Structure 1
Amino acid sequence: MTVRFFHTSDWHLGQFFYNHSRQYEHEQFLAWLLTQIQEKQPHALLIAGDVFDVINPASSAQKQLYQFLADAHSLAPQMQTLMIAGNHDSGYRIEQVEPLLEKYNAKTVGVIHKNADGHIDLDRLLVPIYDEQNSITAWCLTLPFLRPAEITGLNEQTANSQNVIAYIHQQLIAEAKQRKQDGQALILMSHAHMQGGETSDSERPTIIGNEEALSTALFDDVIDYVALGHLHKPQKVGQTHIRYSGSPIPLSFSEINYKHQVLDISIDPAQPEESRFQCEALPIPRSVQLHKIKGELNDVFAQLNALPQGEIAVIDHREYVDIEYHTAIPPQPNLRQQFEDALPKGRYRLVRISRQYLTSEKNAEDAAQVSLEPPTPEKLFQQIWEKQGYAEDDAVLKDFLSLVQEAEKSLEHEQDS
């Protein structure tokens, strides 16, 4: 039996991009996805976490999700929609609407639950996927984002979160092996940061220095496909069948060149291992463009003037512009207005301006002379002050030093008491 499903994640419904709503962009994505569902009629749609952008999403974002589920169910009544909570979601909140989700053949797993005997409730985590004849064609092992505070105590042998996560995987995979019958596939859906995954600057940090990134060794060879969420770039991790689908829209300017997509997966366990898995990337059209403009001021103005013309009437449909200009001198007071004037009218939203100071020859020579002495608060303050482009000001420095003295006295007082 062949199981066919879509893999997507990190929708971040309700996101605001530099105070601009992404509702229109999400509407366009969801309309496109409904067309794909209608055409291809998959057995399941897997949404691997970060459905919403914040733990308490606005009513408009929730309405977007539930309207999509209703529309998808009307277009493909046999399709199951399986969702897990990501680190941006409230697992308890998205589980509260189970009666509503059942009407649309949808299920969500937000947190790990315990049975009365204290063991993991594996029934909630193992979800059967049915084919057109209502026979089980696959099992989906659903693992939401595993917060240390929520999984403490699931394994009495250790309080280490990494060991508990390994224990959860072992228990779930062992139970899946027992339930799996010939011809049925095993799909594991997880929201996690895997070792070797390439990040962007829009993913909320869940670990420090990648020290707690998970290893793909957690996934037993019996698993036919691992549907991952959390990282926004579509990518394989280690093996062809372990993948991040990526986000459907760019969630930061660092994602401009990402090829946003939904993965169309087919698995036939009866086939030889090298041919049982098929993956097609369905490219998502970008409804609003992003432009990153970089360079010295003259070059920036030239790039702004060269942008495509043509007014876009609705503000929420206009393209985003991020400017990073390079300069050796402090900015002019009206620089933002100059940038706005250089942009073609009625088409763009200038959402961010940043500056990068050019290093003069003298500063470069000074930087090359590395001092092994620890910097004083005064020296650090002067370096930051100069980096921001401000001229030397004895009065400001004097005020800063007085604050340092007050802080030192306060520390001495605490140590004495």
Structure 2
Amino acid sequence: MKIIHTSDWHLGQFFYARSRAAEHQAFFQWLKALVIEQSVDAIIVAGDIFDTATPASYARELLNQFIVSLQETGCQLYLLAGNHDSVATLNESRALVACLNTHIITGPRSDDEPHASSLFPIKDAEGKVGALLCAIPYLRPRDIQLSQAGLSGREKQQDLLQAITRYYHENFLAAREYQQLHQCGHLPIIATGHLTALGVTKSDSVRDIYIGTLEAFPASAFPPADYIALGHIHRAQNVSGATPIRYSGSPIPLSFDELGSPKSITMLSLTEEAPLTWETHEIPCFQPMRVIKGSLKELAEQLSALERPINGQRIWLDIEIHHEDYLSDLQQRVEKLTEDLAVEILLLRRKRIATSSTLTSLQKETLGELTPEEVFRRRLAQETLDDDQHHLMLQRFRQVTAQIDDEQE
């Protein structure tokens, strides 16, 4: 049996006002071809199917077309909700796509299915169970935790950590019970998750998510499953620990700082004779993107060295200018350098010099060049705070912004 682990599709994303529809369509074509070539039995998508809680109609159409096209392969599809996804939106078509070998998991339970299980026996092409899936999506505090009055911040954090840990282990024990009931102790157990685990490298496109006051989940708290398929972090990477815990990463770059590492899916191989193994399959680049940094002279040299894409595409550019003086005509100068090239400038910014001065000293820098957290950090720099107070204020800011984003979804 072969199973693909992928995540963070973010269908419907607009990248500096540019649509990613063509890239996602190309990815789906590539993924289906890989399914056929490798005789893949199932695909697990560990969260963030869509980029927003209200995806555009074309994004939903892309997903529906892929689900339909996958039917000829016999491959099963498991879609788990992430922090960007709307539970209501995904549940709209859950019953319908269930008839098309597609399972949508949006939460640990629902009002109409209070005893719904998160355990899915994954069957191969011959109908034989080859693995057990503990399908755990993005967990919100209200999903797994009862509110308790009188707890300190530290106690709330520990209580939530215990609730998440307990939920994972309950699902793992359910899988163990299935093994005993069906006398199939050799079946590998795969668990999923959409969260931040300790010891991972993020990218600019990853929005910090806080499950209540919990910033990250320790790898040691996961159950001893044979493989844990995670989503939310866009860079493909392993999490340290005895159990294979892995982020598959997003299929396309969702920010310019993700260009340094290749995009891939993770392929799991399972046999009765050997333990679970995995390997990566690199995903082709469907949209050329580059980051260019330096002075105007260095910029001109780097631009002249760019190769024109053979398929008629234009290279998306992130340009960072290093210049001592403030140039009021910077935009015009750069446009002059690129007017005959097959490029499109998506982001043009000046290099920011880190100083201890206040926001007013950076008056030549526009808000468009700063993230909300960077603005908040600059404001904090003006206050007389010790390290603990600074960290507490920053953590509180992240929690509030994450709560606002969740409410908007």
What interval of TM-score do these two structures reach, taking the shorter chain for normalisation? 0.7 to 0.9
Instruction: Say yes or no: does 1:121 pair with 2:115.
Output: yes
Give the residue type in structure 2 aligned to 1:88. Answer: H
Matches of 2:178 and 2:111, distance apart in 1: 19
**Displacement of 1:310 after TM fit?**
6.1
1:67 aligns with one of 42, 65, 68: 65
**Displacement of 1:129 after TM fit?**
0.5
Task: Give the SS at the match of 2:322.
Answer: strand
Give the residue type in structure 2 aligned to 1:235. Answer: Q
8 Å contact kept, 2:130–2:270: no
Matches of 1:337 and 1:349, distance apart in 2: 14
Give the residue type in structure 1 aligned to 2:173. Answer: A
Alignment of 1:4-15 (within 5 A): 4-15=2-13
Per the alignment, residue 219 of structure 1 pairs with 222
Instruction: Say yes or no: does 1:331 pair with 2:324.
Output: no
Instruction: Flag structure 1 segments of 5+ consecutive residues without an equivalent.
Output: 360-366, 371-378, 389-417
Per the alignment, residue 384 of structure 1 pairs with 362
Matches of 1:175 and 1:154, distance apart in 2: 26
Instruction: Say yes or no: does 1:103 pair with 2:99.
Output: yes
Structure-1-length-normalised TM-score: 0.78
Matches of 1:248 and 1:5, distance apart in 2: 16
**Displacement of 1:298 after TM fit?**
1.6
Instruction: Say yes or no: does 1:136 pair with 2:129.
Output: yes
Say if 1:289 and 1:151 are closer, same or farther in 2 by CA, change over 3 A.
same
Alignment of 1:260-271 (within 5 A): 260-268=263-271, 270-271=273-274
Task: Give the SS at the match of 2:351.
Answer: strand
8 Å contact kept, 1:13–1:53: yes
**Displacement of 1:304 after TM fit?**
1.9
**Displacement of 1:318 after TM fit?**
2.2
Matches of 1:41 and 1:47, distance apart in 2: 18
Instruction: Say yes or no: does 1:112 pair with 2:108.
Output: yes
Task: Give the SS at the match of 1:226.
Answer: strand
Alignment of 1:242-281 (within 5 A): 242-268=245-271, 270-271=273-274, 276-281=275-280
8 Å contact kept, 2:188–2:276: no
Alignment of 1:221-236 (within 5 A): 221=224, 223-236=225-238
Alignment of 1:280-295 (within 5 A): 280-295=279-294
Task: Give the SS at the match of 2:363.
Answer: helix
Per the alignment, residue 152 of structure 1 pairs with 145
Say if 1:226 and 1:382 are closer, same or farther in 2 by CA, change over 3 A.
closer
Q: Deviations over 1:237-292 (max 9, x none)?
A: 11472111111011100001221111111123543xxxx12212111110111110
Matches of 1:169 and 1:155, distance apart in 2: 21
Give the residue type in structure 1 aligned to 2:292. Answer: I
Task: Give the SS at the match of 2:316.
Answer: strand
Task: Give the SS at the match of 2:210.
Answer: coil
1:318 aligns with one of 293, 300, 314: 314
Matches of 1:68 and 1:155, distance apart in 2: 44
Say if 1:278 and 1:170 are closer, same or farther in 2 by CA, change over 3 A.
closer
Matches of 1:42 and 1:87, distance apart in 2: 27
Say if 1:358 and 1:327 are closer, same or farther in 2 by CA, change over 3 A.
farther
**Displacement of 1:163 after TM fit?**
2.2
Matches of 1:38 and 1:311, distance apart in 2: 28
Indicate the larger mover: 301-310 or 153-162.
Answer: 153-162
Give the residue type in structure 2 aligned to 1:169. Answer: Y
2:82 aligns with one of 64, 86, 93: 86
Matches of 1:121 and 1:87, distance apart in 2: 23
* Structure of larger gyration radius: 1
Give the residue type in structure 2 aligned to 1:100. Answer: L
Matches of 2:282 and 2:262, distance apart in 1: 7
Say if 1:154 and 1:7 are closer, same or farther in 2 by CA, change over 3 A.
farther
Identity over the aligned pairs, expressed in percent? 31
Say if 1:38 and 1:155 are closer, same or farther in 2 by CA, change over 3 A.
farther
Structure-2-length-normalised TM-score: 0.80
Q: State the number of aligned residues.
A: 354
Task: Give the SS at the match of 2:174.
Answer: helix
Matches of 1:136 and 1:211, distance apart in 2: 36
Q: Deviations over 1:295-344 (max 9, x none)?
A: 1222112212322236865xxx42210110011211232x2232122126
Per the alignment, residue 29 of structure 2 pairs with 31
Give the residue type in structure 2 aligned to 1:101. Answer: V
Give the residue type in structure 2 aligned to 1:227. Answer: A
